[in-house]
Structure 1
Amino acid sequence: MTVIKKEQGKVGIYNNAGFQVEGSFSANLDGLNPKELFEASLGLCITIVLNRMLERDGVEVQDDDISIEVNAIKASDSPSRFEQCNVNISLPQHFSQEYKNKLVVSAERACTIGNTLRRGLQIQTEIVEK
């Protein structure tokens, strides 16, 4: 579970371990705005899947060998939503093209966030008493 609340004039994002990251109402400022968090969620999910696959395959990589860049593009019509996510995955050059393709296909299949976005989900909102 994630909790978002404002304290001391700042929006905080918390989990059961406590404060994790500052939220922001605008892009490219201190903290992350909703679009950046959305992109980060997809990118982190793909990163986790890739790392698990590399561990399974016994492939060691340096920390900076793999990077994921996600750019969510807003729809021009209503309702306000993202209509596309462009994901760029940078993998080590010494990996064969066949292995790179295998990693990407497997990551697409195993990423929970990606699967959710592709298939949609129901959102239930309710008011609760404090």
Structure 2
Amino acid sequence: MKKCFSVIICVVCILTLFACGKKANPIVLPQSSDVVSVDVIDGENTVNCSDKTWIDEVISGLSDSKPTNRESVQDFPQVDNYIKVELNSQTEKTTVFVYKDKGKFYVEQPYNGIYIIDSDLYKMFWELY
């Protein structure tokens, strides 16, 4: 009886630890209809895209991103190779960073969260160069 009770307590403690992991806040993006252009910046290279179909695909892909337990606590990602993406609307600019780390694809919104994205969305940005 004592052994069974100890096992149950251990299982409950482990499940509690996994359940307590805080997910990132939802990604904050402008409405697709408000975005007039997107600047994709890789180092010193900048590509500006104002094609509405492409912008709609980008916003849709970013909106479908899945939150992770990782936090964004700096202005830039802590990886070597990333692309800066600026979503430009009439009134504001929203900045996110897209990168690959350990075989997974991410979008990071500074001080908001880190999200997993589809590899196709990642490739859409790199194909501009």
Task: Report TM bin, short chain.
Answer: under 0.3
Higher fraction of strand: 2
Radius of gyration: which is bigger?
2
